[in-house]
Chains A and B, each alone.
Chain A
Amino acid sequence: MSKSPVSGGPESAPATLERPVLLKRLFTVSMLLILFMTATVFFGISIGSTGSGVAETLRTLFDGKGTDDAMHYTIIWRVRFPRVLLAILVGATLSLGGLVFQALLRNPLAEPYILGVSSGSGIGAIIGILAGFSRFPGVSATAFAGSMGTLFLLFVMSSGQTMLKKDTLLLSGVMVNSFCAALIMFLLSITQDSRLHNIMFWLMGDLSTADLYQVGILAIALVPCFVLLLTLSNTMNLLLMGRELAESMGLNIKAATITLLVVTSFMVSFTVSYCGPVGFVGLVMPHVLRLAFGPDHRVLVPACIFGGGTYMVLCDLLARTLPDQGEMPAGVITAIIGVPLFIILLKRSGR
């Protein structure tokens, strides 16, 4: 998917890179990250609660299924593999979400979780769960409604001032987040149900529930969004150059903004309805990748897809293996890594 040349945006746009250079760059970066991702996926399916062995996994994968390996084969492909795939999709979505919000709001600290979009989908999802909807399409729809609601709230709160002002936007995000947290606590406190425990676990970001079928549905919904964002990657470059310049390039800012926002919210709320609001992935990955590969979004979008996926698989692997007994929600790991980075970025951008 990444190998297709990225078109989109007017041809006359002054790109930071010439086309052949860009293609070469794109190819190298994608190949490198895909290699990383393949390696992580391999570790992801080799390690689990019933023991782990890289050699054993290799033997099972390539040797076919001996009678004794049948169980191992089942566990690798039908227990661990769906989970790894889900992690890739979630990581890619959240990293892309961070990248889009950072470009759109021209704020390095923007991210679905920090802005409250994830919590908003969380509220929607909890309402859906309590109402007894099925995960798809019911809970996904309520989650989407929730995230659109918080986005709207966010814009109302920070309108009248320029969106460029970092503090206003972040403070609005913090407030939206607190409000969502309060609503979630309210919903949980009026629920007297055994479902409560599941929701608590889900709230911290839990990747353990989906099977291959559900991951398939998620992929069908998300992959077109990824492709759409790939075609919009040059638009993000233009947006970052400033309103006047972008408009003079013939970009319809309003249409571009709305498309980006809706697509991103849709993606984020869809993943939230599956595995809860996992935080800070959208902060960590775009910054790391920008440091490594430069600011061109035509490279960053595919980099976020593969790099974000890799990162999430690693975080989930830690979440599965760190505790002695059982496992912890993956959201715990992403927050432990993400929050210090957020503070560093905040200090740096304050200077």
Chain B
Amino acid sequence: MKPICHMISLLAVCSLFLHGSPSAAARIVTDEMGRQLTVPDDPQRIVSFAPSITEIIFALGREDRLKGVSRFSDFPPEARQLPSVGSYISLDLEKIVALKPDLCFATRDGNPKDIVRRLAAFNIPVYAVNPKGLDAVMETIHRIGEVLNAAPKADAIIDQMRTRISRVKRWVAKAHRRPRVFFQIDISPIVSVGTPTLINELIEIAGGINLAKGPTPYPRFSREQVLSLSPDVIIITSMARGGRFEQVKSEWNRWPSVPAVRNHRIVMVDSNLFDRPSPRLAEALEILARLINPDLFEGKE
């Protein structure tokens, strides 16, 4: 096996020469998985493997260097104009290689390990991020900013996020009680979010009690279980819009004994805002806080 390994790395080195890699200067960085990799000093051809990473790169103002994105990268709308390299679960190796990237960004949560391994054989560095909480998302933004030489911009984004988060915290501190929130991320089966998720953190900061709290990240629920939890608010994120939401809402509306139904507190939110670890999470938090404690926000912008 060893000789084959050597042969492959030799091939990789050869192909590097063939490509005539433009950026001679490089540095070694450690990504969020603890992997050491050599990245160009000033990466010029970047490919993003997840919509959240695409959003971060756009926010950092480095979209001119973004040469390819994963299929569902739809924010900001300009991202749709960029070449697609497949969905983030099944990435198209051929397309990625053809874009001649000098740096790719992957997320541990979703991108297959295989693709990272194979890109390594092509001498294409893959920087993996693994944001597991609100602070970690800001850390990720900071790290990507550093790699792309946009640290000041990254810090500005993070400052702004922190300001918005602490403003929400100040508002919520005035609340008298914490409403019971059931956050539904899938319709059939009913799936919610447990403690080790970003959305749980958002619910807590926004002043609610997450009814699905527990060690399981994405627990399943029967309708019966949800009814017995008697949520004050039911928040539904869904890939499916419009008609689908009305249908789900009307299913819940058959149980008027539930406080959320009685008080017309079944709402839908944009799933892209909530399930992408991107700078827009601050906005998601504000929306959530308003939904959970509407009376606190009357007359506020």
| Residues of chain A having any CB pair with chain B under 8 Å | 48-50, 65, 67, 70-71, 73-75, 78-80, 192, 194, 197-198, 201, 208-209, 211-213, 216, 325-327
Query: CB-nearest residue of chain A relative to B11?
Result: A78
Select B122's contact among A50, A65, A78, A80, beta carbons within 8 Å: A78
Contact B89 A79 (CB under 8 A): no
Q: Which residues of B contact A326 (CB under 8 A)?
A: 71, 86-87, 90, 92
Q: Which residues of A contact B121 (CB under 8 A)?
A: 78, 211
Q: How long is the Cα–Cα vector from A213 to B9 in the complex, in angstroms?
A: 11
Q: Is B18's beta carbon under 8 Å from chain A?
A: yes
Q: How long is the Cα–Cα vector from A300 to B118 in the complex, in angstroms?
A: 36
Q: Give 19 A-B contacts (CB < 8 Å), ordered by A residue.
A: A48-B94, A50-B95, A50-B98, A70-B18, A70-B19, A71-B19, A74-B15, A75-B97, A78-B11, A79-B94, A192-B218, A197-B110, A198-B112, A211-B117, A211-B121, A213-B5, A325-B71, A325-B84, A327-B90
Q: Which residues of B contact A327 (CB under 8 A)?
A: 90, 92
Given A74-B122, A78-B97, A325-B84, 19 other A-B residues pairs in contact with their CB atoms under 8 A: A48-B94, A49-B95, A50-B94, A50-B98, A67-B20, A70-B15, A71-B100, A74-B15, A75-B94, A78-B121, A78-B122, A79-B97, A192-B216, A197-B89, A209-B114, A211-B121, A213-B4, A213-B5, A216-B4
Considering the complex of A and B, which 7 residue pairs feature the smallest CB-CB distances, nearest first? A50-B98, A70-B18, A197-B89, A79-B94, A209-B114, A49-B94, A48-B94
Shortest Cβ distance from residue B217 to the other chain A in the assembled complex, whole angstroms: 6
Q: How long is the Cα–Cα vector from A65 to B20 in the complex, in angstroms?
A: 13
Q: Which residues of B contact A73 (CB under 8 A)?
A: 18
Count of CB-CB pairs between chains A and B under 8 Å? 66
Shortest Cβ distance from residue B5 to the other chain A in the assembled complex, whole angstroms: 8
Q: Which residues of A contact B122 (CB under 8 A)?
A: 74, 78
Query: CB-nearest residue of chain A relative to B109?
Result: A194
Q: Which residues of B contact A211 (CB under 8 A)?
A: 117-118, 121
For B11, B92, B97, the residue with the greatest tally of chain A CB atoms inside 10 Å of its CB is B92
B interface bracket (residues with beta carbon within 8 Å of A): 20 to 34
Q: How long is the Cα–Cα vector from A73 to B14 in the complex, in angstroms?
A: 12
Q: How long is the Cα–Cα vector from A50 to B117 in the complex, in angstroms?
A: 21
Contact B217 A192 (CB under 8 A): yes
Query: CB-nearest residue of chain A relative to B87?
Result: A326
Q: How long is the Cα–Cα vector from A201 to B112 in the complex, in angstroms?
A: 11
Q: Is B175's beta carbon under 8 Å from chain A?
A: no
Q: Which residues of A contact B173 (CB under 8 A)?
A: none
Query: CB-nearest residue of chain A relative to B99?
Result: A50
Q: Is B93's beta carbon under 8 Å from chain A?
A: yes
Shortest Cβ distance from residue A147 to the other chain B in the assembled complex, whole angstroms: 23
Q: How long is the Cα–Cα vector from A211 to B8 in the complex, in angstroms?
A: 10
Select B98's contact among A71, A209, A213, beta carbons within 8 Å: A71
Query: CB-nearest residue of chain A relative to B12?
Result: A78
For A65, A74, A216, the residue with the greatest tally of chain B CB atoms inside 10 Å of its CB is A74
The contact string, 1 if C-beta is below 8 Å from chain A, for chain B 108-142, is 01101010011001100000000000000000000
Q: How long is the Cα–Cα vector from A208 to B89 in the complex, in angstroms?
A: 12
Q: Which residues of A contact B19 (CB under 8 A)?
A: 70-71, 74
Query: CB-nearest residue of chain A relative to B98?
Result: A50
Q: How long is the Cα–Cα vector from A249 to B265 in the complex, in angstroms?
A: 82
Query: CB-nearest residue of chain B relative to A80?
Result: B94
Contact B71 A79 (CB under 8 A): no
Q: How long is the Cα–Cα vector from A73 to B122 in the complex, in angstroms?
A: 13
Query: CB-nearest residue of chain B relative to A69?
Result: B18
Q: How long is the Cα–Cα vector from A194 to B94 in the complex, in angstroms?
A: 23
Q: How long is the Cα–Cα vector from A75 to B15 in the complex, in angstroms?
A: 11
Shortest Cβ distance from residue B17 to the other chain A in the assembled complex, whole angstroms: 9
Q: Which residues of B contact A325 (CB under 8 A)?
A: 71, 84
Q: Which residues of A contact B90 (CB under 8 A)?
A: 201, 208, 326-327
Q: Which residues of B contact A78 (CB under 8 A)?
A: 11, 15, 97, 121-122
Q: Which residues of B contact A74 (CB under 8 A)?
A: 15, 18-19, 97, 122
Query: CB-nearest residue of chain B relative to A135?
Result: B114
Q: Which residues of A contact B93 (CB under 8 A)?
A: 79, 208
Shortest Cβ distance from residue B276 to the other chain A in the assembled complex, whole angstroms: 15
Q: Which residues of A contact B217 (CB under 8 A)?
A: 192
Shortest Cβ distance from residue A81 to the other chain B in the assembled complex, whole angstroms: 11
For B87, B109, B114, B217, the residue with the greatest tally of chain A CB atoms inside 10 Å of its CB is B114
Q: Which residues of A contact B218 (CB under 8 A)?
A: 192
Shortest Cβ distance from residue B87 to the other chain A in the assembled complex, whole angstroms: 6
Q: How long is the Cα–Cα vector from A197 to B216 in the complex, in angstroms?
A: 18
Shortest Cβ distance from residue A204 to the other chain B in the assembled complex, whole angstroms: 11
Q: Which residues of A contact B87 (CB under 8 A)?
A: 326
Q: Which residues of B contact A50 (CB under 8 A)?
A: 94-95, 98
Q: How long is the Cα–Cα vector from A80 to B100 in the complex, in angstroms?
A: 16
Q: B residues 160-176 with Cβ under 8 Å of A?
A: none
Known contacts A197-B89, A198-B112, A209-B114; A65/B18 CB under 8 A: yes
Q: How long is the Cα–Cα vector from A192 to B84 in the complex, in angstroms?
A: 28
For B94, B109, B112, B216, the residue with the greatest tally of chain A CB atoms inside 10 Å of its CB is B94
Query: CB-nearest residue of chain B relative to A211?
Result: B118
Q: Which residues of A contact B112 (CB under 8 A)?
A: 198, 209
Q: Which residues of B contact A71 (CB under 8 A)?
A: 19, 97-98, 100
